[in-house]
Chains A and B, each alone.
Chain A
Amino acid sequence: MTLTNADFAIEVAALHKSFGKVHALRGIDFAVPRGSVLGMLGPNGAGKTTAVRVLTTLLRPDSGRVIIEGYDVVRDAAAVRRRIGLAGQSTAIQLELTGRENLEIMGRLNHMPRSSVRGRAAELLERFDIADAADRPAKTYSGGMQRRLDLAASLVAEPSVLFLDEPTTGLDPYGRLGMWDIIRELVGRGTTLLLTTQYLDEADELASTIVVVDHGRVIASGTPNQLKDQVGGDLLEFTVPDRSRIDDAVTAVAGLSDSAPTVEAATRRLKVAVGSRGSTALVEAVRRLDAAGVVTEDLALHRPSLDDVFLAVTGHATEAAPETGSKARKNPAAGVPS
């Protein structure tokens, strides 16, 4: 490691926090290099929100240490607050006020000079695509717009470290993609970001490093690809209706992966672990099978989910499953390493 402390925007060591008998955090460690994105992944109740609350000076830790941009969150909370932005799980904007009023009030409360508040609010409204509705009460906004305004409110004072607690929970797929675009743009501007999520695809999409949290501990960490490789990566699956062609199919796709394809004879189903090269492998598989003249059915790419990560790392599925995308995979599916 050639990184020094000066290269980290967030450093967390041996963080503990209990509420009575509930141990929300039981020794969390991680560090986030300046300008990078840390995705904190875990099911409901894993301790993600508690961690964010400690990191943003809202809760005092029982023990351990958190340094944000060189300042201790307990001893120098005021200095930390001047450098961070927080967008929580619910939209913390005043719905009766207009988008512009909401942002201008944030600017004033961040002690920005009156003269720069107006310009900053207008710039954010423009950037977050709320300019047309800037002078309407926020309660007339769509859910996605309210979320964007909420995020804008956390950015008024140009924080160098931004905390987003489940930024897309409750958004429709369209709103979710819009939020992803905005987050990518922020990162492009050099903001250090910590985001919590229940969705592996979201962490995969946005984060440079992921820490997986369960029962108040970090149970795995690494880049998205490292984590997926730990799970076994993407799985390519298809059925060959004509039993006599199975061997040809195996030959055709054999070169796609280091590991040999597995065949379930009874169902005539083939599975190939293709690591993190999912879509490339999918295209290549179609091309080779077509060239070999093998007809397939139900060709699909199975991407590892949060549940798969949990199965691989802890040997149990998430106890509080996320609302979507996991039901079908709750039953330990064949082919998932355990």
Chain B
Amino acid sequence: MTAIAEPLNTRIRPSAVQMARWAISDSLVMTRRNLLVWLRVPAYIVFTVVQPVIFVLLFRYVFGGAIHTASAGGYVNYLMPGIIAQTAAFATFATAIALAQEATKGVIDRFRAMPMARSAVLAGRLIADSIRMLIVILVIIGVGYAVGFRFQNGVAGAIGMVLLAEAFGIAVCSVSAFVGLAIKDEESVQAFGLIWIFPLTFVSSAFVQVSTMPSWLQVFANNQPVTLVINAMRSMALGGPAFPLNPALWESVVWLAGALIVFVPLAVRSYRRVG
């Protein structure tokens, strides 16, 4: 066997500017690809849009009569910020499934063996999923308006609520991306991808006032991030404590930043270890 000499070629590194341009254009190509896949599969659209619509109708007309809240404009106004946050959280289920499929089918292997930017698979996934989430949130607000929901706090408050819902969705997305890449097996992701979200969204202020829960449960419900996010969204949508001063908003921002700081690196690490 011939001994291997030093490599003949020395390193050629593209400039930092070139690398940054590639990172952006590759992420956009991946974003477009992911949105195209979503639009091609009617089942995905039905699942992501119809399911939250059913929740709106169910809580507005079936459970709503039995739930008493002190919100201006009645229960539907109380409900909508909760449903929107839940929708954002549930939408990330697709993030975990898609990444798990790509990991097991060798798609991520192929991408990693290509000169594309390392960040583009995850970035493209997060961007596409947040666009998808925004579309679904706007549809749900439209349905909400049809069944009596009204923003009470002006356009700025409405936009602020949507932005916070998006930020919340992106934070949950980073957790889902990690779950999908760490578990990898699609069926396990189907089974476990949503389970952790259920207690967080239902044991919160999303559908009922926390004060109606047993006191031991209130301790959890009052202090977990989904309640904080929904309370902040509600105050932006409906008024309440002047919203830049609302402590729930700042506590939410700290929680969301914390989730991103922990789970984005974990997702990146699992991405590197795929296979």
Which A positions have Cβ atoms within 8 angstroms of B?
A: 1, 3, 5-6, 8, 11, 13, 29-31, 53, 56-59, 65, 67, 69-72, 75-76, 78-79, 81-82, 84, 86-94, 96-97, 101, 105-106, 108-111, 137, 153-154, 157
Q: Known contacts A70-B9, A76-B7, A109-B120; is A92 also within 8 Å of B113 by CB?
A: no
Central interface residue in A79, A84, A109, A157, by most chain B CB within 10 Å: A109
Assess whether B114 is in contact with A110, with CB atoms less than 8 Å apart.
Answer: yes
Contacting residues, chain A, for B114 (C-beta < 8 A)? 81, 106, 109-110, 157
B 88-135 contacts with A by CB, 8 A: 104-107, 109-116, 120
Assess whether B115 is in contact with A13, with CB atoms less than 8 Å apart.
Answer: no
Which B positions have Cβ atoms within 8 angstroms of A?
A: 1-5, 7-9, 11-14, 22, 25-26, 29-30, 33, 36-37, 40-41, 104-107, 109-116, 120, 275
CB distance from A54 to the nearest CB of B (A): 11
CB distance from A94 to the nearest CB of B (A): 6
Assess whether B8 is in contact with A6, with CB atoms less than 8 Å apart.
Answer: yes
Assess whether B116 is in contact with A5, with CB atoms less than 8 Å apart.
Answer: no
Assess whether B106 is in contact with A109, with CB atoms less than 8 Å apart.
Answer: no
Assess whether A5 is in contact with B29, with CB atoms less than 8 Å apart.
Answer: no
Instruction: State the 7 A-B residue pairs at the shortest beta-carbon distance, nearest first.
Output: A88-B106, A70-B8, A92-B106, A70-B9, A109-B116, A96-B40, A56-B113
Contacting residues, chain B, for A78 (C-beta < 8 A)? 13-14, 115
CB distance from A89 to the nearest CB of B (A): 7
From the candidates B4, B26, B110, B115, name the one contacting A88 in the complex (CB within 8 A): B110
CB distance from B171 to the nearest CB of A (A): 27
Assess whether B110 is in contact with A154, with CB atoms less than 8 Å apart.
Answer: yes
Cα-based distance from A108 to B40 in the complex (angstroms): 21
Cα-based distance from A82 to B114 in the complex (angstroms): 7
Contacting residues, chain B, for A67 (C-beta < 8 A)? 4, 7
Cα-based distance from A18 to B40 in the complex (angstroms): 42
Contacting residues, chain B, for A70 (C-beta < 8 A)? 7-9
Q: Known contacts A71-B7, A79-B12; is A109 also within 8 Å of B107 by CB?
A: no
Cα-based distance from A92 to B40 in the complex (angstroms): 18
Assess whether A65 is in contact with B4, with CB atoms less than 8 Å apart.
Answer: yes
